[in-house]
Structure 1
Amino acid sequence: MALRVTFVAAARSSSLLAERFQDDRPLDQAGWDEVQRSAWDLMSLAAADLRYCSPTPRSRATGDALGFAPLVQPALRDCDMGRWRGLTLGEAMACEPAAVDAWLADPRATPHGGESLLSFISRVGNWLETRPLEDGCRVVAVAEPSVIRAALVYALKAPPATYWSIDVRPLSTTTVTGLGGRWNLRFDAASALTSRA
């Protein structure tokens, strides 16, 4: 039995240079335009057996605009950034440079008073491990880029520091297949998105 989970990165709500921790802003016009341009390529994912999304406004809006009608999953929420919520990395660094350095260096650190990177990766990984098992089951999840990075670190059993080296672009897709702690990263041709693994 194998499960196939395809993550779709939410469309953007701001310039990529102005990404904010736990960004709850809705899609901006550029984000809506990106969804419209990508809809044809991604609409086949609506045939997934199960469709989920992060609770952020842009993840929900992206999933709805693509015709997924996704079910909100609290476990796919962004990392709890405590008092840094709503700040950019640059703004947090300007206010608390030593705290940001500690957070970037230690996956167990919580200088912001929120969730550690390690806890975040574990939470997203636990969600991945608890998906219903049916042979060939296809799942699609629209999520924030940070959530997808956490899922990939978990699935590949990579060191937590790998999280900082993964770049997830808006509306990109990433697929993992497997179950029970054994996951594989899968690269699909666009025409193969609708076929069962």
Structure 2
Amino acid sequence: MHVRLKLLAAARSSALLATRFGDDRPLDAAGWHEAERAAPVLCRLAAAELRYCSPSARCRETGELLGLTPLAQPALRDCDMGRWHGRTLGEVTAAEPGAVDAWLADPRSAPHGGESLLAFITRIGNWLDTRPIEQGAGLVAVAEPGVVRAALAYALQAPPHTYWRIDVQPLSVTTLTGSAGNWSLALEA
């Protein structure tokens, strides 16, 4: 049997330039409006038997706004960025350019003292591989864009640096089908 998991990227909580590592801010006004406009299409996801979300404020709020009443999953939290938490990439690059270069070049590197990219992708993959398999059960998870990127890198068994090449837009839906260690990306019309 296979699982059909729809990953919904949360609505935005800040302008791109204001995005911070470990940003747990709630939805901003634009994010609320975008989610409300998308609700007539995305509310169909509430039909899933199992509904999850990352524990961040914006993921919980996106799920609630769409009527999903998702269960927060600590394993779906964004990458632990250690001492970089709460800072922008620009701020960290200005203060620690060598550390940022190492972090971007080596997926095993964690110069911030948190989680390496490889450890993050593995954690998300472990969550994927432990989803319950029931005949016809649909699953949905509202997650941070980084979590969706990690899930795709894992599911496609792509090299970890592929993570940096995946662009996940707010309120986009990505469908994965399969079972532990055997995932496929399903593109839908």
Shorter chain as denominator, the TM-score bin is: over 0.9
Displacement of 1:110 after TM fit? Answer: 0.7
Alignment coverage as a number of residue pairs: 189
Unaligned runs of 5+ in 1: 190-197
Letter of the aligned partner of 2:3 in structure 1? L
The one-letter code matched in structure 2 to 1:132 is: P
Shift in Å at residue 180 of structure 1?
2.0
Name segments (4+ residues, structure 1) moved above 6 Å: none
Q: CA deviation at 1:17?
A: 2.5
- CA distance in structure 2 between the aligned counterparts of 1:180 and 1:112, rounded to whole angstroms: 31
CA distance in 2, matches of 1:66, 1:40: 9
The separation in 1 between residues aligned to 2:7 and 2:139, in whole angstroms, is: 8
Instruction: Give the C-alpha shift of residue 176 in structure 1.
Output: 0.3
Secondary structure in structure 2 of the residue aligned to 1:45: helix
Is the Cα contact below 8 Å between 1:42 and 1:66 reproduced in 2? Answer: yes
Gaps of 5+ in 2: none
> What code does the residue aligned with 2:112 have?
H
**Alignment of 1:160 onto 2:160:** yes
- Alignment check: 8 A CA contact 2:75 2:127 kept: yes
Deviation at 1:187, TM superposition (A): 1.0
Q: TM-score, normalised by structure 2?
A: 0.98
How well do the aligned residues superpose, as a CA RMSD in angstroms?
Answer: 0.7
Name the structure 2 match of 1:194.
none
**Following the alignment from structure 2 to structure 1, what is the Cα–Cα distance between the partners of residues 153 and 25?**
26
Equivalent pair of 2:48/2:139 in contact (CA under 8 Å) = yes
Instruction: Tell me the distance in 1 between the aligned counterparts of 2:157 and 2:136.
Output: 23
Please say if 1:85 is aligned against 2:85: yes
- Higher mean alpha-carbon deviation, 38-47 vs 132-141, is at 132-141
Q: CA deviation at 1:50?
A: 0.2
Give the Cα separation in 2 of the matches to 1:180 and 1:62. 27
% identical equivalent positions: 68
1:19 alignment counterpart: 19
Shift of 1:89: 1.1
Match of 2:56 in 1: 56
Corresponding residue for residue 192 of structure 1 = none
CA distance in 1, matches of 2:17, 2:166: 16
In the alignment, which residue of structure 1 is the partner of 2:42? 42
Instruction: Give the secondary structure class of the aligned counterpart of 1:128.
Output: helix
Q: CA deviation at 1:170?
A: 0.4
Bigger shift: residues 18-27 or 157-166: 18-27
Cα distance in structure 1, aligned partners of 2:5 and 2:20: 26
CA distance in 1, matches of 2:166, 2:18: 18
Distance between the aligned counterparts of 1:99 and 1:180, measured in 2? 34
- Is the partner of 1:127 in helix, strand or coil? helix
Cα deviation, 1:119-149, whole Å, max 9, x if unaligned, reads: 0000000000001111232100000000000
Aligned residue for 1:180? 180
Q: Distance in 1 between matches of 2:38 and 2:180?
A: 32
Q: In 2, distance between residues paired with 1:96 and 1:26?
A: 28
Q: Deviations over 1:77-125 (max 9, x none)?
A: 0000001001111111011000000000000001000000000000000
- Please give the per-residue CA displacement for 1:22-53, whole angstroms capped at 9, x wherever unaligned: 10111110010011010011010000010000
Q: Between 105-114 and 134-143, report the one with greater CA deviation.
A: 134-143
Give the alignment's TM-score, normalised by structure 1: 0.95
- Letter in structure 2 aligned against 1:136: G
The CA deviation string for residues 128-182 of structure 1, in whole angstroms up to 9 with x for no partner, is: 0001111232100000000000000000000000000000000000000000211
